[in-house]
Chain A
Amino acid sequence: MRSKRNSGYIEILKLAGLAASSSLLGVVILTVPQTKGTKVGAQKTTAKKVAPMKSATGDLLQADLSPFVNKYCASCHGKTSQVAGLSLTKYKSLAEAKAAAEIWQRAASNVSNSHMPPKGMKMPTTAERQKFVDAVKRLVNEDCGVTSPGRVTLRRLNRAEYNNTIRDLIGVDYRPADDFPSDDVGYGFDNIGDVLSLSPLLMEKYLDAAEQIANRAISTEKRAPILVPGSNMTGKGAVTIDDDSADLASFGTAIATFNIARPGRYSISISGYQYKAGPDNAKVAVDVDGTAVSEFTIAETREKAGTFSLPFKFAKGKHTVGITFLNDFFDAKLPANQRDRNVTIKSVTLSLLDAAPFPESHLRLIPEPPEPGKVRAAAEKTLRDLSTRAYRRPATQEEVNALLKLYDLTAQAKEPYEKRIQICLQAVLVSPHFLFKVETDKPGAKGDRTLTDFELATRLSYFLWSSTPDSRLLQLAGEKKLGNPATLKAEVLRMLQDPKAQGLADNFAEQWLQLRRLENFQPNPEQFPGVDTEMKHLMASETKSFFMHVLNQNLPVTDFLDGKYTYLNARLAKHYGIPNITGDDLRLVNLAGTQRGGVLSQASILSITSNPTRTSPVKRGKWVLENILGTPPPPPPPDVGDLGDDGQILTSANLRERLEQHRKKPDCFSCHSRMDPIGFGMENYDAVGRWRTEDQNNKIDSSGVLPDGRKFTGPDQLKKILLQNKDQFTRTLADRLLTYATGRGMEPKDQCHLDEIVLTAKNTNFRFASMIIAITQSDPFRKRSANP
């Protein structure tokens, strides 16, 4: 699987005429600025240099922003009227305005794409619009050269990361975090440091999970042979129990008693020798719990004891093994050393024959039982290795000593070695260094700093794998090589080819595209029979496989909107009406000649943007504005009412009529004139994503007009329009990726960084892997600001 993906990748590279060298994938490396304010590097791409804050006629606010606001905005967003709770005239100083950068940015975005001012109001010229937008850019960014990389708040592992980390670190197939409380979501993702809280309930779960994991990872099963020396046996008849053996002189039985904790087949090994006398060797009978099981002859003598073994299946509990001397011999006429036949039993040992092999997780921590005398040293090594991998950086001696202290306590409590390591493992798994992705600052540190190589390894692996760094990343970090841009790039490419990169689909794609909403989507079973849990799962899998395809083949990100291929199995193909696809496994399907292509025609997206009984052009339009264009509409004002469904199921046609009525209300117009047309363009797909040309005998009308007058009919033309501005979609994706990669919300100042990432994407034909590399090379990913 993995090699296949690799070769496919290489082929694509060949097709693109790219050699595997420093220009691999044609990525332009963004050179890290050496000094603030200046950028170096031949291929450097930098955002437009912007003018300083002061202008000739007062500051930016007085000279550039206020005149525009007073002329075009204040009648609705001013002192007396504050539509949508927004006033743009309340800022008394430039500093106040700067503090509200996000509001200004939203205003600029609305002015820039002609959503504001709304129809019927006084309209600014294109030049005026541009001047306002530029002024807001200056307000927000000042100068991209000194933009801070931002600061990520201490992030704990979220549920998916915890599960994956346990899988990769410990090697047990167990998903304890499935039972943890939900992770809070912020900025669209569940890995945001500021938002992820750690409730006492979760702490409890961590502790319980650590115990369960330790129990599964390390086997405490008693496997060591159980030995009863002769001196611990009891005798019946003429038996003498000595310091180191049981001696059978004439007639009698030596009995060894065992307590069997683990039932199963054991080998009974009896070690002993005879005092030879007479013509025969000594003969003994063996019984278990008084029932004879075997007899054997002892030919060995005192110089070298012999061993006799036989298998026996023991039930749990107390058992005895008896050895009875059968053929005593005595002849006083013979010389002293040949006259008396006796038997000495040195020991009886039981060894488990059918013990299951140790699980891999056990061998990782305890490769072999420690040698006597070197037990604590073995523990120290194990605990150092374990905590180094778990904390994702070398464990300090202080940390190892603390673990050893715990180890000593368990040793004093006479716990077996395996149990001691279990307890220490539990401590490691609830340590803050394991549960949090720790990035520390020296007390009082100022300014920005580049992340250490270990911190970088952690950011990388949780971004691309949703899991802990592997040994190679940690090794490169240890050698301080990971931070080298070429190495970093090579590692990103390696990691994207690893099956663990599925983490990006499971966690990034699922949240960016909102696929997790499918879980709660309950279409009316009467109208849409057969859309069951499995079907919803298939829908999500299709989109995720499609996402991974674009990633693995390093295709342009615009394929997300218009790639003419997807992944289907027989059931899903039937749902789409695509013939000749068989089998349960999803496979790559060429969509040329069909009405489909890109996520907007996939059942997953079409379903989560529908109501249980019908499509919702509004929700579909909103979804596109949010996730594709990055211009989410504000929510409706309260008290506006909704489309009256009248209890009947609306057809596509009268739904369009209702929405047109709705748009006539001035409160509704500015947003719905953006959302509704996009949704209309997707009306050929029903509420569960099936193609349709009519709805209850009415022909589907899939035409729409965007606020700026562009017209289209049907999904293909709609997609063409959406792709006219590739930068806009790329920027939305860059914003989502950088948010997910860093675990913090984007701030106005991040616009500079996003500009650079978009520019890199543009210079590499919008290739997806190249964009991901650009993310990992960006300042917000590589650096952090000191404590504010």
Chain B
Amino acid sequence: MNHIDRKTFLRGVGTAMALPVLEKMFPMTALASSLPAQAKPVRMAFLFVPNGVEINHWTPKAAGALSGELPNILQPLSELRNDFNILTGLTQHHARANGDGPGDHARSTACWLTGVQAKKTAGSDIRNGVSADQVAAREIGRNTKFASLEIGCERGGVSGDCDSGYSCAYSSNVSWRSENTPVAKEVNPRLVFERLFGNGQAGEEKEAQTRRDLFRQSILDLVSEDASRLKAQLGTRDLRKLDEYFEGVREIEKRLQKFENSQAALIAAGVGKPNGIPADYGEHIRLMGDMMVLAFQADLTRVCTFMFANDGSNRSYHQIGVSEGHHDVSHHGRDPKKLEKKRQIDRFHTEQLAYILRKMKETKDGDASLLDNTMLVYGGGISDGDRHNHDNLPILMAGKAGGRLKTGQHIVYPNETPMTNLFLSMLDKVGVRMDKLGDSTGKLQGLF
């Protein structure tokens, strides 16, 4: 296979060149081998942005087709307007205090995909719900090497409780595997790559690999027995920790037993490994987006959550001339200058989103594009960063879910429509039937 410079693939190319390049890198024969061409799976992605958005520059003026000039923050997505919907009126009721006092950043992050009121605690007794992505991962994740992929650009909190008495576990994770266990995310693109495609054992001979897997299996057998013996001597809360251990072991075992990886190896060989976390934040987001696209393309997973930043993030955006911290700016107090800066930050984020969506659109997936075969939700759990309200959330939904989703619309729901209704509908489309998720009241109308 010809060596193709990663940069050529990931960045420099315009649309015109991209398709032939992709075809050359990933011959259809290889892609086709994993799945019948006509039945490409539907992928699910959830992209999270913190601290609300400047909603006046987000919401289109009228319901209906996304025509004419889009609101300022959405303008970077203009050329993709037929590939997404804007959903207005969705609400996360359990992101509100409901008697728990302050802590909206942590609470709305925890609630974003669960629709559950997170228990207020800085430490012991963490309790939330299972998130929509993990509900999906349990079912459709069985078919792929990784049940789901969790990525982001900011590590978890570094000190202090993260928000008004809420543990950092809440404010840095949208993905929850069980009530008590958030799913850790990876923030270094190099490590995501290594995880997806293996760690430099390139050229390892088949026999050596088999041997290695055999030993790994034996090691896991041994330590599982260790853990089983330990069980009888532990208390209830300790057991929760040990259960996490068992689950981790089982995940690895599943991978050892089931998945052959020839196609992924091919893709890995063509792309090359990123070096680490880029200094430029925009490049970091785009590179993580690339990793998500690669994982979908190679069908290593069908479910991904991606946090551009943790909620309450106070990152400065020097690259666009905003030297104040994002959180400080989001508490704009209706100050026009701060609102303007908030708009700039929000637009910076949608510019990165545009890159990712274009990338997915340019990536062939069976007879359609990867974007066509995806349901991607972009947004956050706070509407206005100053008021900290959780109704009328800024939500964008991209992709056509394998042709099942109508796009190009601004759909206005009655305010206070549970956001979980959207998740229920999405889960339904990938064959996961649920009666209820969090505070859902039914499926969302008008989308599918």
Contact = CB atoms under 8 A, between A and B. Distances in A.
Contacts of B218: 406, 409, 423, 427
B114 to A, nearest CB: 16
Contact of B245 (A432, A441, A517, A519): A432
> Which of A86, A208, A433, A642 has the most CB atoms of chain B within a 10 A radius of its CB?
A642
A188 interface: yes
B325 A611 contact: yes
A526 B321 CA distance: 11
Contacts of B181: 197, 199
Contacts of B334: 641
B325 A154 contact: no
A636 interface: yes
A181 B242 contact: no
B233 A522 contact: no
A207 B251 CA distance: 12
A199 B177 contact: yes
A151 B238 CA distance: 10
A207 B164 contact: no
Contacts of A459: none
Nearest to B149: A201
Interface residues of A, number: 90
Contact of B252 (A183, A204, A511): A204
Interface string B187-228: 010010001000100000000000100111011101101110
Contacts of A611: 324-325, 328
Interface string A514-540: 111101101011100000000000000
Nearest to B190: A179
A153 interface: yes
A716 to B, nearest CB: 28
Contacts of A201: 150, 183-184, 186, 195
Interface in B153-173: 155-164, 167-169, 172
B161 A612 contact: no
Interface stretch (A129-137, A329-337, A364-372, A643-651): A643-651
A264 interface: no
A657 interface: no
B161 A185 contact: yes
Interface in B371-406: 386-388
Contacts of B158: 182, 185, 516-517, 519-520
B323 A185 contact: no
Contacts of A636: 102
B335 A644 contact: yes
Interface in A322-373: none
Contacts of A181: 155-156, 184-186
B195 A182 contact: no
A443 B168 contact: no
Interface stretch (B72-80, B81-89, B312-320): B312-320
A215 B414 CA distance: 60
Contacts of A184: 156-157, 167-169, 172, 182
Contacts of B38: none
Given A208-B199, A636-B102, A203 B249 contact: yes
A436 B316 contact: no
B101 A430 contact: no
A153 B251 contact: no
Contacts of B188: 179
Contact of B123 (A200, A514, A745): A745
B125 A187 contact: no
Taking each of B163, B214, B230, which has the highest tally of chain A beta carbons within 10 Å of its own beta carbon?
A: B230
B126 A433 contact: no
Contact of B99 (A85, A153, A410): A85
A379 to B, nearest CB: 15
Given A153-B237, A520-B314, A182 B101 contact: no
B245 A198 contact: yes
B55 to A, nearest CB: 15
A203 B325 CA distance: 35
A745 B331 contact: no
A445 to B, nearest CB: 9
B435 interface: no
A494 B100 CA distance: 46
Interface in B97-124: 97, 99-104, 121-124
A194 to B, nearest CB: 4
A185 B162 contact: yes
Given A187-B123, A433-B226, A516-B158, A427 B219 contact: yes
B235 A432 contact: no
B282 to A, nearest CB: 15
B167 A185 contact: yes
A516 B99 CA distance: 32
A514 B227 CA distance: 36
Q: Of A86, A154, A611, A788, which is in contact with the most chain B CB atoms at under 10 Å from its CB?
A: A154
B361 interface: no
A250 B218 CA distance: 57
A642 B385 CA distance: 12
A737 to B, nearest CB: 16
Contact of B155 (A84, A182, A198, A515): A182
A550 B235 CA distance: 39
Given A203-B249, A611-B324, A635-B103, A195 B126 contact: yes
Nearest to A396: B229
A639 B216 contact: no
Given A151-B235, A201-B183, A441-B234, A185 B160 contact: yes
Nearest to B316: A522
Given A156-B241, A186-B168, A441-B235, A639 B335 contact: no
Contacts of A744: 123-124
A194 B334 CA distance: 40
Given A182-B156, A186-B161, A203-B249, A431 B226 contact: yes
B118 to A, nearest CB: 14
A196 to B, nearest CB: 8
Interface in B240-298: 241-242, 244-245, 247-249, 251-252
Contact of A195 (B97, B123, B185, B248): B123
Contacts of A641: 331, 333-334, 386
A447 interface: no
A105 B124 CA distance: 18
Given A207-B216, A644-B333, A634 B323 contact: no
A516 B159 contact: yes
A192 interface: yes
A442 interface: yes
Contacts of A37: none
Given A198-B244, A611-B328, A520 B226 contact: no
B323 A179 contact: no
Interface in B299-349: 314-316, 318, 323-325, 328, 331-335, 337-338
Contacts of B195: 201, 204
A634 B160 contact: no
Interface string A444-468: 0000000000000000000000000
B199 A440 contact: no
B333 A642 contact: yes
B246 to A, nearest CB: 9
Contacts of A515: 159
A438 interface: yes
A76 B150 CA distance: 44
A787 interface: yes
A427 B223 contact: yes
Interface string A653-692: 0000000000000000000000000000000000000000
24 contacts: A85-B97, A85-B102, A181-B155, A182-B172, A183-B156, A185-B156, A185-B162, A187-B122, A194-B237, A197-B244, A199-B182, A200-B177, A200-B251, A201-B183, A201-B195, A203-B251, A207-B220, A432-B226, A432-B242, A441-B235, A443-B233, A635-B163, A639-B387, A645-B338
Closest 4 CB pairs of A and B: A203-B248, A186-B123, A641-B333, A787-B235
Given A153-B241, A198-B244, A199-B177, 6 more contacts: A201-B183, A203-B248, A522-B318, A612-B316, A636-B102, A645-B337
